[in-house]
């Protein structure tokens, strides 16, 4: 394969789309592209598209699109029928599927403070990823239970650091 495939967006379910748009904009600076838009299981093109993706249980909801600093999208969904709600256990990391998404900020501690100040939770302490290194991470969650990992450096910078230090030793 000559080129790598880019990550386009991440879809998150929340129980209140207006609050989530506001939260992700205030806490992370994500910009609203469009929405909220209605999501209705009907005979329209988008209704049929939604039914094909989400299945016959869908009746109605809303969605919105935000963008991060590097252009990766955050697609927020809120469902009226079936009703949106938190998972009983949002940290079933041992089961197949996505259990978190990650963002990058040079100061993960400050981002976690903003998350806490805005109704989210801190799940872990601030960790040095590698002993004696300057790469850090912390796990938090938004008010709807979506788990967010915060890296101090980009993904490539973080894991190349391990390769570089291994070559030195």
Q: Which domains does the chain have, with CATH numbers?
A: 7-84 (3.10.180.10), 100-169 (3.10.180.10)
Distance of alpha carbon 79 from alpha carbon 61, whole angstroms:
4
**Helix, strand, coil share of the chain (percent; to 5):** 25, 30, 45
Reply yes or no on whether the pLDDT at 169 is more than 70. Answer: no
**Global confidence as pTM:** 0.90
Tens digit of each residue's pLDDT (9 = 90 or more) over 32-91: 999 999 999 999 999 999 999 999 999 999 999 999 999 999 999 999 988 887 888 888
Count of all residues that appear for the chain in the document: 169
pLDDT of residue 168: 67
What is the pLDDT at residue 96?
79
Per-residue confidence (pLDDT) for residue 1, from 0 to 100:
59
Burial 106-125 (b: 16+ CB within 10 A, else e): eebeebbeebeeeebeebee
What's residue 166's pLDDT?
64
**Per-residue pLDDT averaged across 77-106, rounded?**
87
pLDDT of residue 109: 97
- Read off the pLDDT of residues 108-140 as tens digits, 9 standing for 90 and up: 999 999 999 999 999 999 999 998 889 999 999
How far apart, in whole angstroms, are the C-alpha atoms of residue 133 and residue 118?
30
């Amino acid at each position: 394969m000559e080129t790598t495939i880019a990550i386009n967006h991440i879809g998150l379910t929340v129980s209140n789309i207006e609050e989530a748009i506001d939260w992700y904009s205030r806490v992370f600076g994500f910009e609203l592209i469009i929405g909220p838009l209605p999501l209705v299981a009907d005979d329209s093109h988008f209704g049929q598209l939604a039914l094909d993706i989400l299945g016959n249980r869908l009746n109605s909801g809303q969605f919105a699109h935000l963008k991060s600093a590097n252009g990766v999208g955050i697609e927020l969904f809120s469902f009226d029928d079936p009703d949106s709600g938190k998972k009983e256990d949002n940290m079933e990391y041992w089961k197949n599927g996505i259990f978190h998404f990650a963002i990058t900020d040079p100061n993960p501690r400050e981002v976690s403070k903003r998350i806490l100040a805005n109704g989210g939770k801190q799940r872990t302490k601030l960790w040095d990823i590698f002993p004696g290194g300057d790469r850090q991470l912390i796990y938090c969650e938004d008010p709807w239970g979506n788990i967010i990992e915060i890296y101090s450096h980009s993904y490539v910078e973080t894991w190349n650091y391990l390769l570089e230090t291994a070559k030195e030793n």
